[in-house]
Amino acid sequence: MKKISLLGTGLIGAFYTMSLHSHRRKDVIHTVCSLPESAAKDFAKKYNIPKYTDSIKEAIEDKDTEIVIVALPNYLHREAILMACRAKKHVLCTKPLAMNAAEAKEILDAVEKAGVFHGYLEDLVYTPKTLKTIGMANNGSFGRILWTRSREAHPGPHSAWFWDKKQSGGGALVDMGCHCIEIGRSFIGKDIKPVEVMCWADTQVKPIEAEDHAIALIRYETGAISQVEVSWNFRGGMDLRDEVSGTEGTVRLDHWLRTGFEVFTTGNTDKYVSEKSESDAGWLFPVGDEVHALGYSHMFTDMLDSLENKTEPRETFYDGYIVNAIMDACYKSVKTKKWENVELEVWRGKEGIKAGIDLIDYDKDHYLIKKEVMPDGKTKIMLKEKASGNIIQKYI
């Protein structure tokens, strides 16, 4: 059994605790840290956690603690992780890993130098639907991946620090774009290098300095494009969707609003329906098990099994660094209104992949472009002549 110190008691800390303390897990939170101390005390009482404190140092250096989970505001991640490294404690950190790529690189260097286990808690890569889709993509079910789209939109985050650019590092792009970027990477292949980014971001509704809406395109070395859409201005709950398109198939995922669970009520719901729901009356779309549906259960199983088996988890701080580097390029593109290169000081994937078209021979003189059964039942094909380059059509 591993004993865990949890830093932070916000919504993400609650989700982590619900996941770790469910299904008779053997690894448990035994110390929780929060400010003020009364918040830590109340959280400890609610979740039956033996110890509580308002000191990050005390929680990390607790003699019984083997794993530190960082669920703090973004600006505190670096300090907490470096402290865990000095204490030689294994460390797991919520998204995003850091405020920017330079800070993320410092964190990555620190955990690798200290020789401690590190896991990047990107829960949305671990949802049951996403894991199934990643497996299918890896097995070639969709052929060569051409395009991905990941969208997360809702009315806005749940704590004041998210809205303060100095504490968060940005707005909707930092908050949710990190999810969408890593989902796209996972579908395209995390060993495929992100090359350049075009991003639009603006503050359309909220009276804040950071962006409340952003859309980005990320081009990978294979020629694949990953589309990211995030907004704090969406009304009607949380819109959480992904799409993948390849040469041999497509998939569409809806994780939250259209899950097959639809309820109509005049209002007797005990108020809470699901994360970011704006109403408790009318037609509602509850989620049966939020912790499981958002990927927390599979995420912690992967992290803790990997630690126990001395293997690398699906998501490490290296992945967090790549995500931060892509977000840096996004913010640069917002300012220049141009495609901007993704600057990677460290890259451990494939190099020198050439983007191109997969040519399919129809016969010795033609390439096949398309084959389709028409409404009259006849099969029509489009061909390209190898010699002339002319496009022709015929029925077969």
Distances (CA, A) of 387 to 248, 278, 365, 380, 395: 27, 61, 7, 22, 21
275 versus 185: the higher-pLDDT residue is 185
Buried b (16+ CB within 10 A) or exposed e, 86-98: ebebbbbbbbbbb
| pLDDT at 9 exceeding the cut of 70 | yes
- Position 269 scores a pLDDT of 61
Nearest partner of 64 among 1, 148, 155, judged by Cα? 1
Residue 255 DSSP code: -
User: Which range (84-93, 193-202, 280-289, 307-316) has the least confidence?
Assistant: 280-289
Work out the average pLDDT over 254-270: 81
Measure the CA–CA gap between 28 and 16, rounded to whole angstroms. 11
pLDDT of 354-394, one tens digit each? 888 889 999 999 999 999 999 999 999 999 999 999 999 99
Q: What does the pLDDT read at residue 375?
A: 94
Domains by residue range for the chain, with CATH:
3-121 (3.40.50.720), 125-341 (3.30.360.10), 361-395 (no CATH)
Per-residue confidence (pLDDT) for residue 268, from 0 to 100:
67
Residue type, 296: Y
User: In this prediction, what percent of the chain has a pLDDT beyond 90?
Assistant: 88
Cα separation, 382 vs 366, whole angstroms: 10
Region 150-172 average pLDDT: 96
Lowest model confidence (mean pLDDT) among 15-24, 69-78, 105-114, 319-328: 15-24
Q: What pLDDT band is residue 157 in, cutting at 50, 70 and 90? A: very high
Tokens of 242: 């992904």
Task: Report the pLDDT averaged over residues 24-39.
Answer: 94
pLDDT cut 70: percent of the chain above it: 99
Instruction: Report which of residues 278 and 11 the model is more confident about.
Output: 11
Q: What is the number of other CB atoms lying within 10 angstroms of the CB of residue 287?
A: 20
pLDDT at 119 over 70: yes
CB 274 within 8 A of CB 290: yes
Residue 241 has pLDDT above 90, yes or no: yes
Q: Which amino acid is at 78?
A: R
Q: The tokens of 100 are what?
A: 């920017």
pLDDT at 273: 75
CA 292 to chain centre: 15
Over range 104-124, report the average pLDDT.
98
pTM: 0.93
pLDDT at site 237: 87
The C-alpha atoms of residue 198 and residue 215 are separated, in whole angstroms, by 9
Tokens of 310: 């001395």
Task: Name the band, by pLDDT with cuts 50, 70 and 90, for residue 297.
Answer: very high
pLDDT for position 270: 65
pLDDT of 35 strictly over 90? yes
Length of the chain: 396
Residues 6+ apart with CB under 8 A from 293: 127, 128, 255, 256, 259, 287
pLDDT(134) > 80 = yes
Task: Determine the Cα–Cα distance for residues 74 and 389; give it in Å rounded to an integer.
Answer: 55
- pLDDT category at 347 given cuts 50, 70, 90 is very high
Read off the pLDDT band of 329 (50, 70, 90): very high
DSSP letters spanning 183-233: HHHHHH-TTSPEEEEEEEEE--SSSSSS-SEEEEEEEETTS-EEEEEEES-
Rounded distance, CA 124 to CA 29, Å?
22
CA dihedral 328→331→333→334, nearest 10 degrees, is 180
Is the pLDDT at 232 greater than 90? The verdict is: yes
Residue 104 is encoded by which pair of tokens? 């993320």
Average model confidence (pLDDT) for the chain?
Answer: 95
